[in-house]
Every structure is written in C-alpha cells, then in structure tokens.
Structure 1
Amino acid sequence: MLDDLLRQQDGVLTLEQARRAGLSLQAVQRRLRSGHWLRCARGVYFVNDRVFTDAARIRSAVWGYGERAVASGMAAAFWHDLTQFAPDVVDVTMPRTGHGRRHAETRLRRRDLDPADVRILRGVRVTAPALTILEAAITRPGGAKLMDRPLQRNIELRELWRAQLRNRGRYGSPAARLLLQAAADNARSVAERLLVKLLRAAGITGWKANHPVAGYHVDVGFPEVKIAIETDGWAFHSDADAFQIDRKRQNAIALSGWQVLRFTWLDLTEYPERVIAEIRRAISVREQSVSDR
C-alpha cells in the first residue's frame, strides 16, 4: 500500500497518510533519523530513494501549508499541463483564516476561493483551469500565448470572464482584464492600434492607415513600395467564413501587385522587435527591386 502511494504521489506523503498505511509515529521518526525519509515541511515527507522531481517539489510545497492550501499561478499551470516549465517559486493560495508561516521557495497569498475555482488533480488541490490561466498569463513574458492556446482547444472565453469576475480585486486582476478585453471580438482593432504604435515608435514612415487597395482597405499600406500589412486577432476567433473572406481579400491585394504581410495580436505583443524587423526587411527588398528596374 505504501509503495503504491509513493509511486502515485511522486515519492511524497504526509504523516496522516503514513499512519493510514500502518506506520507508527516512531517508525516515521526512525526513517527520518536514518535519512531514508526527508522532511519537506511539517508533517510532509519525501522518500529519498528516487529523484526529487518538479512534481514532488510542487506537491510537497502545497501540502506543507495544510489541507486547505491550493497550488496557483504557474505552479497550477504546470500541474494542469498548460506549460512544461515548472516555476522556481511555487505559488500557494490559502484561505484568509488559514494558519502557517511562509515556507522557503514558495509565495503565499491569502484569499478565499470560490469552490468553482478549485479542483483536486492527482491528489493536489489546484486552482481550476480558468483561474489558473488568468493568473499564469500575467506572471511571465509570453503569458498571452498561454491564454490563447487553451482558448483554441477546450476553454471558452466566457469561462475566463466568469473566473475573472469571481476573483475581482486579486493580485494581477487589472492586467488579466486587459488580456481578456484583447481576446474579445475587438481583438483585430486592438492589433491595428498596436501596429500603428509600433511603427511610430520605430520611426518608420511612408505608411497610411486604412489605405485602399484593390477595392479593400488594408490596415496599413506603404503606397510607394506597395506593401500591405494586415493584422489579425487571436487564433481562436478564426472561423471558416472569416478564413475564406480573408483569403479572397489577400489574393486580390496580391494580384494587384502588392506584397501582403500578416501579423497576429500575439506577434505584436510578444515579438514586436521581430515584427518591425520583418517590415524593415520587406521595405528594403521592395525598394531594391524598384531601383533595379
């Protein structure tokens, strides 16, 4: 029974679990004195005959705060397989009335979570997927991509908004709200504004916003070199009809002699230097082509 438990729990167990498996307090203490078991926190142990993995580290960190503690932030994102990278510091959320001091290599926040925002996954209490995405997305560069990927697969935008409204006032709530607004139906217009802002900041000139080309208006056009830049919202907004309309539009613009560059909201927010570099390169190539004629 004990071996099965340790295999399921990454080599981590609590004193209560050890007792239920038939070990007395004295037997636990003997294992600790011999070094076969290591104490991770009060009443939480690791059996020192295996590798102390990231999963073991997160499990022991959460259990070290007691049965009401919940893994949150990037620790919860790792536990939900939303990211393959475990954080160096484990975020743990406890009720406001919870007891216990902060442990090393953890970040403790005290907040009462709605039951809808808590799941038990592989024996560990973690924030539910929607709240996990909101909290993790604002903690590191590339967080928007972390939000976009689940939206393309199995999370609906309204679930994120509900989790946001249930947890107003928490740390990072304003930043998460901005991401949700950008992920809404006006994402394309937000992307257009970001593109204009990037062009101005980079000192690139010769462009016109909403420039007419081949019967359409492109987001940004460079008339002298015939470069059209189109922006897109987040990937999960694309449906079959929108895809077909965009391709018809893009083909018409290209057939009129214009080069089309497309950038997504994520490109503009996460990789702005790359966007500007590609635009500069396209302008340079088109200018060289014109001079060679």
Structure 2
Amino acid sequence: MDVVDVIERMGGFATRAALVRATSRAEVDRALAAGAVVRQGQGRYTLPTVDTAAALAHAMNGVLCLSSAALRHGWEVKVVPEKPHVLVPRNRNVPRRYREAVVLHSADLGPDDVAAQATSRELTLTQCLRLLPYDEALVIADSALRAGEHATLRRAAALVRGRGQANAARVTSTASDQAANAFESVARAICNDVPGLHVEPQLVISSPHCWARPDLVDRDRRLVVECDSYEWHGNRAGFRKDVRRYTLLAAEGWTVLRFTWEDVMFRPQWVREVLVRAISGDAQALVSARVVAAA
C-alpha cells in the first residue's frame, strides 16, 4: 500500500513505525525525500497538505477551522479534506482564486480564538462538536482525548448552545481516549447507532484459555467487533496471531465480527445492518435458552 494512502487511512497522521509496518522502511524514506509526506515532530508523519493549508489560510488573512484545524493541532480526522476549511472575518471580500481553493467559512474571532494559524483548540472542538456529523466529530474528539485534551473537550462542549447542542453532548458522552485510531472511532460511531448495542474500545478479555484486547467489545452480549485493515495486520506473523485470537474467542463463546476499512468508511449502512442482524440473532438465542430453562 502507498505511504500516502496509509496516512490518509490513519486519519491524517501516522507514526514511522506504523508506516514501516504497512509498507517498508525504504518506501517511507523515499516518500519523505520526495516530499509526499512530511515529518511533524519525533517519529510522526503527516501529509504536506497540512502545511500548505495553513499557508493558504495565511495568504487569505484567515485561519484553518473544523477538520483542517484539527489536523493542524495534530488530531486525526475521519477524512482528510480535499480542500482546507478556512475561516475569515465576516464581510471580508475574498478573491475568487481563494474561494475556489478552499471551503470558506466566516466569523469574527477574538485574540484567544486563534493558535498556530488555526482556530484555537477549544474553538476547534466547539465548532466540530456543533457542525460536523457525529462520526466525524467523534474521531476528532477521541484523538483530542488521546492527546490529553480532556478539560478542553469539556469546556468546548459547555460552549455549544442551541443548534448542535444535542450532537455535542452525544459526542462528548461517548468520546474515549482508549480508541486506537480514526478507523476504530468511525466503527464505534456506527455501533452507537444500533439500539441495544453497547461497545467499549480496547476492552481486555481474559480467561484461562484466551487473552485478547479487541477493538470493540460488548461484554454483556459477548460480541467483539474488529476493525481489520492491512496496515495493522499486514504480515504473516500478525495474520497468524489474529486468526488464533479470533478462534480462541469463538471457542470461548464470543461472536466475532470483522469489518474492513472500506466497509466502515464507505458502506456504514451495510455495517449497521450486519450488527443489527447479529444482535437480533443473539436476542433470539437468549429467548430460546430461557424457554428451554423454563421447560
């Protein structure tokens, strides 16, 4: 898989170790030398569009906002935007060449609302909670929590009033710093839309015969949801380990559902329908067990 594709699938950022595991050391070095990826801090890589977006916003006398601001702050996003989101003051006349290159937003900002050529961390989260769809906002909120922004997320949620308040409250109440990556966050967002399904990220399952830390777990239903992607399980040793883990979980009475990145990102309704069927079958099995026990 191409290095750029791997970074995009990982939410716009990736560690060197993850890139090497998904491709090779030589490919990562070539991509870095060619400028296809750029280093953002120790062992952390992103796409050059993150830097060029900030430069474009500066040229417009604006700042990055929404998912573009999230990337600027080092947070993962569901999808790296094709055009950067740029916010300019109200009533500013923006030349056509800039309007065509960005997704334009307008608002008046105070001095504390801007940081690193983007909306501040708090304002970025506030806008994402209010304006983005649930799954996109959850990816950013999870990533912000992994970066230690727990207090910032709470303050941002408290600032959302009126339009978007319900979405902000939902994202904040379901966000988790345990989510491993954007792929897993989107999968959890889909699970959260299934009535009766209550999954937790990275929950440890332990027994005398099995130890596992699946991506998503509904302990009461003994249901495991795994987010399978080549960049995480792309070698023979990893594949062998995963197969053994899934087999042991099944032997322990767990239902294991495995979804690919493509299905989670581009066929969410299909994923949801599979989850609904899975827990419906589980419910029927519970009813049958009660009938047998009563007899």
Calculate the TM-score normalised by the size of structure 1: 0.44
Relative to its length, the structure with more strand (as a share) is 1
Higher RCO, 1 or 2 (CA under 8 Å, sep at least 6)?
2
When Rg is computed on C-alpha atoms for both structures, the one with the higher figure is 1
Calculate the TM-score normalised by the size of structure 2: 0.43
